[in-house]
Amino acid sequence: MIVYKHALRNLINFGEHRQDRTGVGTRSLFGESMRFDLAHGFPLLGLRKIHFKSVIEELLWMLRGETNTNTLKATIWDEWADENGNLGPIYGKQWRDFGGVDQIAWLLISLFENPNSRRHIVSAWNPAEIDQMALPPCHMLFQCHVSNDKRLSLCLTQRSADIYLGVPFNIASYAALVHILCAITGYKPGHLIINFGDLHLYNNHIEQAQELLKRTSPPLPSLAIKPFGVLESLTYEHFVLTGYNPHPRLDAPVAV
């Protein structure tokens, strides 16, 4: 995860000091990017332990079109949900019903029928419903690409990115999404590219970030998915992660 450590170091050394809606304050860089070759391993951060099951369960929750925290257990979404667990029309709603369009179903058809298309796009940013969302989408749009050698890559656009708590989770989530799409279509995992708008490190995460930079990144694990039926039948038990040997957890507070 050299690219992650590089971004973390740049934020500490060169990030612009900015105030933000949480009142905590950040060090921020605009227009950064990261690229991961998924042929070299699954990019699950090893500098501190990431709870892989939470990554997968949230991703599957969104892929099912769900927007209520009652079907997720002890996640950061609880901080934004109302008393009934509702979050409004966030990711899952937009992915599976954007103005009546099931974008995930459409994406799979497009990948099968027209792999050379430049329109393999799924958007969670719906201006007409932003005000109804508990939190506007941070990872707001992704585009897929199928190369001539049948490798599927994904480019994510993320408007706002908490590098310490959120970004490792986002990297793992969208890398897992590539693996899911490949399991369905028969393509091979290619690259994961993330283009960041505001990439930031919260001021109360700086001490933890400095500790991470002292650690040596272990080898990347590998991910396999057992055979499954339709997308909606996919569960955490289908995912087989091997070779994940991270450093101990290093927690930090969530800025709400």
Residues annotated as catalytic are 138
**Pairing of the two strands 33-37 and 26-30:** unpaired
For CA atoms 102, 107, 112, 118, the dihedral sign is positive
Expressed in percent and rounded to 5, the helix, strand and coil fractions of the chain are 35, 25, 40
Task: List residues bridging with 199 in a β-sheet.
Answer: 29, 161
Q: Which of 93, 151, 150 is nearest to 122 (CA)?
A: 93
Strands (E), 130-205: 139-146, 151-162, 188-202
Instruction: Give the chain's length.
Output: 256
3-state secondary structure string, 65-129? CCCEHHHCCCCHHHHCCCCCCECCCCHHHHHHCECCECHHHHHHHHHHHCCCCCCCEEECCCCCC
**Pairing of the two strands 188-202 and 151-162:** parallel
Contact at 8 Å (CB) between 14 and 229? no
